[in-house]
Amino acid sequence: MIGNWNSWSLNKHHHILLKLAVAILLLGFTFRLFVSDYKGFASDLESHMSEKDQAGERDVEPFVPGGIPENKDLLPIDVFTEKCDLFTGDWIPNPLGPTYTNESCPLIEGHQNCMRNGRPDSGYLYWKWTPRDCQLPGFNPERFLELMRNKAWALIGDSISRNHVQSLLCMLSTVERPVEVYHTEDNKSKRWHFPSYNLTVFNIWSPFLVKASIFEDINGVSSAEVQLHLDKLEKTWTDIYHSLDYMIISSGQWFLKAAIYHENDTIVGCHLCPGKNLTELGFEYAYNKSLHYVMDFIAKSKHKGLVFFRTSTPDHFENGEWHNGGTCPRTSPAREGEVKIKELSKILRDIELQEFVKAAPKAANNDVNLKLLDFTKLLLSRPDGHPGPYRQFRPFAVNKTAVVQNDCLHWCIPGPIDSWNDVIMDTVVNG
């Protein structure tokens, strides 16, 4: 009996221990579930608060259901937390092509109207710029116009700015066609209005951004050196600067021209002026000086809108330049590393980046929203996007072997320059 009792007592003891162990396991599992649910709720709450507190910031860490795996290589590209670099990417095939054509948009000037001028290939139209570390939505003209209601935009600079404004207006005209309300006698500066949105778009011709007297014809043939005042900003843009809500300012290629340089109303030197008995200072000197005054003006302006500074764009002349038979015959984007930036373009861009970097902290201290648009990489790999010989109407209609001037600096419209508007809209929306 004692033996049976001891056996029963031992069995009962084991049974109790087993129950206790199961209870502890269940309690631990329940606690783990609770903690997991709490963490999930906390992550949701943190994500929501982060989005609420930092709306528009691209570097907000997104909430990923189920947690983030250790191997980041397995992550989809849109959950990376690094700041998005819109200017480093690749051109990928886009079978949809452009949102407009030369027939649907009457705002394309003749020299960039490659379709009308008879360019036989169309493959250059079917590519889209895609950043490598984030998503870039396509330009949304309806949303852009709504965001720009009662606003004023200006694109200020040389013929590349005029090239760009045509692209922007063509994309917006798929929603509403703008009305041209002003132009200068030479048609180099214009103003358009979108009546339904009270949006005004300016294109302001100021290729140097500083005061300049220019002596050349419509084909770019100069009869005398440019007279360039390096320390006086051009009033065509500074006079309306404070009335603008958004602007894109750029310069560059024109500084390569022959010029006499003035400072404090005194001739101080020149670029490409043999026989003038003047000091050859070089275009680098002039561009540094001019951009310094431009950036200083912007940084100290206390302007409350958004100011973009755009770097100059690369050309793709091969076997010569604009004036001596250069061509750009390619019909597809270049592979990475296949096309190198030319030395002159690199010098211009280096000066631009240097002056921007110096001005940016000063602008921030004065609450000026100054941003950089560095499209050099974006367009360097698109030697196929220029008008080439199709800057003029059907150049080979009469003679298939005719020798004609090529344009390997400006861009066909529609064409690669349309992707600029994707980047600009994303920056406006997300900061």
State pLDDT tens for residues 228-240. Answer: 999 999 999 999 9
| pLDDT at residue 285 is higher than 80 | yes
Backbone angles phi, psi at 170, to 5 degrees: -65, -40
String of b and e for 269-302 (b: at least 16 CB within 10 Å)?
Answer: bbbebeeeebeebbbebbbebbbbbbbbebbebe
What confidence tens digit (pLDDT) does each residue in 106-159 have?
A: 999 999 999 999 999 999 999 999 999 899 999 999 999 999 999 999 999 999
Burial class (CB in 10 A: 0-12, 13-18, 19+), 224: exposed
Share of residues in the chain with pLDDT > 70 (%): 81
| pLDDT at residue 75 is higher than 90 | no
Question: What is the average pLDDT across 240-249?
Answer: 98
- CA 260 to each of CA 54, 221, 230, 254, 346: distance values in angstroms, whole numbers, following the listed order: 50, 17, 10, 13, 23
Q: What is the pLDDT of residue 287?
A: 98
Question: What is the average pLDDT across 276-296?
Answer: 97
Q: What is the pLDDT of residue 74?
A: 30
Q: What is the pLDDT of residue 36?
A: 40
| pLDDT at residue 427 is higher than 50 | yes
What confidence tens digit (pLDDT) does each residue in 196-210 have?
A: 999 999 999 999 999
Whether the Cβ atoms of residue 221 and residue 229 lie closer than 8 Å to each other: no
Q: What is the pLDDT of residue 133?
A: 87
DSSP string, 133-166: SS--PPP-HHHHHHHTTT-EEEEEESHHHHHHHH
- Catalytic residue IDs: 159, 407, 410
String of b and e for 52-61 (b: at least 16 CB within 10 Å)?
Answer: eeeeeebeee
Question: What is the average pLDDT across 412-424?
Answer: 98
Q: Which of 372, 143, 379 has its CA nearest to residue 250?
A: 372
Q: What is the pLDDT of residue 52?
A: 34
Question: What is the average pLDDT across 253-280?
Answer: 96
β-strand pairing of 306-310 with 246-250: parallel
Work out the pLDDT band at 221, boundaries 50, 70, 90: confident
Work out the pLDDT band at 17, boundaries 50, 70, 90: very low
306 by DSSP, 3-state: which?
A: strand
- CA 23 to each of CA 20, 27, 62, 334, 386: distance values in angstroms, whole numbers, following the listed order: 5, 6, 38, 68, 76
- Mean pLDDT (the chain) is 85
Q: Which amino acid is at 275?
A: G
Q: What is the pLDDT of residue 119?
A: 98
Long-range contacts of 180-187 (CB under 8 A, 24+ apart): none
Q: What is the pLDDT of residue 9?
A: 39
Question: What is the average pLDDT across 6-18?
Answer: 41
Residue 194 forms beta bridges with which residues? 199
Question: What is the average pLDDT across 278-305?
Answer: 97
Q: Is the dihedral of CA 74, 75, 76, 80 positive or negative?
A: negative
- What pTM did the predictor assign? 0.80
Residue bearing the bigger pLDDT, 327 or 30: 327
| pLDDT at residue 416 is higher than 50 | yes
Q: What is the pLDDT of residue 84?
A: 84
User: Three-class SS string for 341-398?
Assistant: CCHHHHHHHHHHHHHHHHHHHHHHHCCCEEEEECCHHHHHCCHHHCCEHHHCCCCCCC
CA distance 170 to 428: 19
| pLDDT at residue 19 is higher than 90 | no
Q: What is the pLDDT of residue 336?
A: 85
Radius of gyration for the alpha carbons in the chain, expressed in angstroms and rounded: 30
Question: What is the average pLDDT across 250-277?
Answer: 96
294 by DSSP, 3-state: which?
A: helix
Which tokens belong to 88? 């480093």
Which tokens belong to 429? 């929306």
